[in-house]
Structure 1
């Protein structure tokens, strides 16, 4: 890695230099919550495998990371077992039976403001409980009972846990939004003063919900009292998430998305995630551009104008394809083979000009023969045998719809906004969709979540992912490039400054200190518009180096790597 690159990374990370890379020989968990990461490690110490630990982490995050961890949302799990078996589990939310294409349009066919984000209609049928329990039952070690799996989460909910400065600040910064729904206000805000570090946060109703899952398993959520409470919460919205909807929900195993990059095998999530396909597409285009133009792209300097220009042009083309071709495969024929082919990548990069930018309006989706949250959360797990799990889960925007199920203690998602409410009209993250992602009953909305595992010599090498809405895919893409192209370790990779571009809007978003003044000026001369923004993503990853597990927790948030 070049000296200038090291200086740029050091400059970006000065304010957060106290955290170090964590190592372990028997297991590693990296998540957004110290409590959740520790719970995962304890499950491994009790004889559980990485699947057991991942499920326990997921349930704990529902308690300790209220803005993104969840029972009322969904997620994706990518797993590589020590025996070589790979599976991907889709427990994304589904549109209820009564959903229809023009749900969020008025009589003039205009999008109704906030209906897809801040009302009961914003919520899809939750999938997290079904998915976590299914993974545990199907692929767990058999050594961990459901009591062991959920008791830590119950304990944190019932007996409380100390709020960190970061979590207290989240509650306080979102007080106005959290006060809009009476039950959410009761649980997550204080009337006497703001939350502060060290306050004990209790969630008694959530503890009881978790206990019902322990007692009845899946039926403790999708049937019985909890299901009745969810339906009761929908009393002001006729027939939205019914008992029938809850009973019909099921997680689904999907075919993993695979690609090859510089001798490594990349395994990621397929539709309804757009992440895996776009990730492989962008890696393919990166290589293809070098081959077509006889340029050593692996020698481009980190975040130089040439590097940022190329990555931006690649990202724009990938996101144009996302808007046209991608959706839930149960409802839409996604041209996976075409999009993932090396030939397609070569075709897509042919019009990239090294000396000038391409306006987004000039970029169209490739011909075929036939959206999202800043408050997502990601965690990575590996056990002593090499079983590896990459999980990204969400309730969409921070604190989802802001609606807490009265008596059950958990916040409902607002994932319905990830559908295309109207072709050509962007969602809250600026993502545009067409008919492929139109609203239909029991359909799953398109997602950017990109849980990924990278193999080296047929063994796990990287386990990574990130929150960040539309920036998720580009963050994972850049993290892989950081390791493979710029020779960073996992901690350097997740901490390195980032930038992001998508098809629309026509600009490069970048973090403070991610672009030097010289680079920014050079990009402007190439025709790019640059916009400074806050943090992009909070990547959490594990690198396997020989027999050592190296945990990288992104310094952008309150992330935690725990190993043993």
Structure 2
């Protein structure tokens, strides 16, 4: 076994376990929080074998690929943030899906320049070149301690032996029933003679088990071997664009994380081609700025005070308007990252927010009436996030995805690999919304070998005034709501002093500029916004959109005395595991 650059150091004392099922508190040796208990168990097993946070994260991600294929998997891609305990350095890995070499800017438009309905969402043409396997191998070969085959083994077992499907699996499959039934390989796996599996049915995936065994023996088989050939052949037969050349050319990219100092914290997150880190920091800068004519900041009010929520919503509007124009793949366009995350820019934009009234989308950024009529916000609880902290305080915050529920609804025959529909994350036409209601322009236009813009926001927070010690790691799925979910979890902990379970359970708001609605979450385990608060927001001029729960966040906090406090979102089926 090779020596890992992640070195050991003393760990904190143990504290009693919390009785909450989705929460663990006080473990000294490590913690894993993921969207499925079997995935969290797999990560914990790696830590107990002597592996580090990277080993645990990779094992967790592979098991997610088996037990939550509707959200993420080896047919997709993602982003990872890593904190090295020995140096305190934070690194960002981009293993996001990329457009094929044959992709063109107008590939989803008809002869009249109109968007072809669902062409970027369903079927082979919607698929981007997957990056998950390459990304997981890249981080493991640099930082892992256990053998590669060891971290893949648990996923192989669950694929071959099967696992009982849960309520959210069934719900997600029902949402995509029509598309899954159109693809023979997907139909064979995810239905029983055309009927969606029932809760508790055992889902066995022998083809996926065989594929994972090949990956365990040689990860490159996905990009240059038998697996790659199967993907390319199926694409050629069904109008897809991905070829062997696309797969062979895929490389994950190490990037510099975006970091900023705010609330006496160092907040680091994913840089472009994710919009997550940039706009997370932008919003934090706006809500903590003190404009010349007003000394009030987010810290001026109690939790869920209408003025605090109004300030949050106003900052969200500004950030999502900027996102539509400036964000894209930095390998293709110049993204003004430092300008957007500058505290000075945050203070300038804070001046625009009138605490006495809400602003409409045309005040924040003018758009034409035709564009407003086209906008219908999509919402998906796809994507997944996992968080790992080991005994030495190496930290992994990892978000990965197949984009929409069950991706493109395409399984490569004989492999069990469910493929993504990530091409929809490009701006398929200027100011035409994607699945999540997000719009974009030239910066996020389709081009060969380009990475589509994302909202994924894996984040690591440290405390500079305490030796830059690890304080918090957090992330979430949820499409356009990812950024604002991560934002509110950070505020719940750092400003409102909530523990992990309280922070992740609390109800959330969301505003993404277009459509001009303030989303209000209802039906959470953490309570609801009271009627007086909602009335106050309406009086400020907001059009409220009361929605069922969204997101599936998780986080791990390290307390000042060294205890680990982790929680999975009670909105779904996740679990925290510690020892």
Query: 1:175 offset after TM fit, Å?
Result: 3.1
> Can you give the 5+ residue segments of structure 1 that lack an aligned partner in the other structure?
1-15, 366-370
The 3 A distance-change label for structure 1 pair 229 and 440 is same
Pick one of 171, 194, 197 that aligns with 1:195: 197
1:414 aligns to 2:424 (yes or no): no
Assess if the C-alpha contact under 8 Å between 2:23 and 2:575 holds in 1. Answer: no
Query: 1:163 offset after TM fit, Å?
Result: 2.4
1:29 aligns to 2:44 (yes or no): no
Pick one of 48, 51, 56 that aligns with 2:54: 51
Matched residues, number: 541
Query: 1:327 offset after TM fit, Å?
Result: 0.4
1:558 aligns to 2:564 (yes or no): no
Deviations 1:188-240 (A, max 9, x none): 012386533432210000011111111222x1111111011101211234571
Assess if the C-alpha contact under 8 Å between 1:372 and 1:396 holds in 2. Answer: no
1:493 aligns to 2:503 (yes or no): yes
Query: 1:486 offset after TM fit, Å?
Result: 1.1
CA distance in 2, matches of 1:239, 1:468: 27
1:402 aligns to 2:409 (yes or no): yes
The 3 A distance-change label for structure 1 pair 52 and 291 is farther
CA distance in 2, matches of 1:231, 1:192: 27
Pick one of 99, 104, 108 that aligns with 2:103: 99
Match in the other structure for 1:130: 134
Deviations 1:343-385 (A, max 9, x none): 10011111111111111111139xxxxx985301000000000
Secondary structure of the structure 1 residue equivalent to 2:362: helix
Secondary structure of the structure 2 residue equivalent to 1:404: strand
1:536 aligns to 2:550 (yes or no): yes
Query: 1:160 offset after TM fit, Å?
Result: 1.1
Match in the other structure for 1:12: none
The 3 A distance-change label for structure 1 pair 467 and 161 is same
Deviations 1:381-436 (A, max 9, x none): 00000000000000001100111111110111000000001111111111010100
Match in the other structure for 1:447: 454
The 3 A distance-change label for structure 1 pair 227 and 455 is same
Assess if the C-alpha contact under 8 Å between 1:499 and 1:536 holds in 2. Answer: no
Match in the other structure for 1:248: 249
1:203-282 counterparts in 2 under 5 A? Answer: 203-217=205-219, 219-237=220-238, 240-282=241-283
CA distance in 2, matches of 1:478, 1:290: 22
Secondary structure of the structure 2 residue equivalent to 1:179: helix
Deviations 1:43-73 (A, max 9, x none): 1111111011111111111001111120100
Pick one of 516, 526, 532 that aligns with 2:530: 516
CA RMSD, Structure 1 to Structure 2 (Å) = 1.8
Assess if the C-alpha contact under 8 Å between 2:289 and 2:346 holds in 1. Answer: yes
CA distance in 1, matches of 2:432, 2:195: 40
Query: 1:335 offset after TM fit, Å?
Result: 0.7
Assess if the C-alpha contact under 8 Å between 2:156 and 2:213 holds in 1. Answer: yes
Assess if the C-alpha contact under 8 Å between 2:55 and 2:140 holds in 1. Answer: yes
Query: 1:21 offset after TM fit, Å?
Result: 4.3
Assess if the C-alpha contact under 8 Å between 1:462 and 1:541 holds in 2. Answer: yes
Assess if the C-alpha contact under 8 Å between 1:372 and 1:397 holds in 2. Answer: no
Query: 1:291 offset after TM fit, Å?
Result: 6.9
Match in the other structure for 1:527: 541
The 3 A distance-change label for structure 1 pair 312 and 296 is closer
Deviations 1:470-518 (A, max 9, x none): 0000000111111111110111001100110011000101111533221
The 3 A distance-change label for structure 1 pair 193 and 438 is closer
Assess if the C-alpha contact under 8 Å between 2:181 and 2:194 holds in 1. Answer: no
The 3 A distance-change label for structure 1 pair 194 and 431 is closer
Secondary structure of the structure 2 residue equivalent to 1:316: helix
Assess if the C-alpha contact under 8 Å between 1:392 and 1:467 holds in 2. Answer: yes
CA distance in 2, matches of 1:29, 1:177: 34
CA distance in 1, matches of 2:110, 2:152: 43
Match in the other structure for 2:487: 477
The 3 A distance-change label for structure 1 pair 20 and 258 is closer
Assess if the C-alpha contact under 8 Å between 2:22 and 2:567 holds in 1. Answer: no
Match in the other structure for 1:459: 469
Assess if the C-alpha contact under 8 Å between 2:290 and 2:297 holds in 1. Answer: no
Assess if the C-alpha contact under 8 Å between 2:385 and 2:554 holds in 1. Answer: yes
Match in the other structure for 1:139: 143
Query: 1:307 offset after TM fit, Å?
Result: 1.5
Pick one of 63, 67, 87 that aligns with 2:66: 63
CA distance in 2, matches of 1:382, 1:501: 31
CA distance in 2, matches of 1:59, 1:434: 34
Deviations 1:248-288 (A, max 9, x none): 00000001100111111001000000000000000000111
Assess if the C-alpha contact under 8 Å between 1:290 and 1:297 holds in 2. Answer: no
CA distance in 2, matches of 1:409, 1:441: 27
Using structure 2 for the length normalisation, give the TM-score: 0.91
Q: Which has the higher mean CA deviation after the structures are superposed, 511-520 or 95-104?
A: 511-520
Match in the other structure for 1:185: 187
Q: Which has the higher mean CA deviation after the structures are superposed, 32-41 or 160-169?
A: 160-169
CA distance in 2, matches of 1:294, 1:127: 46
The 3 A distance-change label for structure 1 pair 257 and 52 is same
CA distance in 2, matches of 1:32, 1:79: 19
The 3 A distance-change label for structure 1 pair 290 and 52 is farther
Assess if the C-alpha contact under 8 Å between 1:292 and 1:346 holds in 2. Answer: no
Match in the other structure for 1:156: 158
Assess if the C-alpha contact under 8 Å between 1:22 and 1:561 holds in 2. Answer: no
Pick one of 388, 397, 400 that aligns with 1:390: 397
CA distance in 2, matches of 1:166, 1:256: 33
CA distance in 2, matches of 1:485, 1:382: 23
Assess if the C-alpha contact under 8 Å between 1:268 and 1:452 holds in 2. Answer: yes
Secondary structure of the structure 2 residue equivalent to 1:411: strand
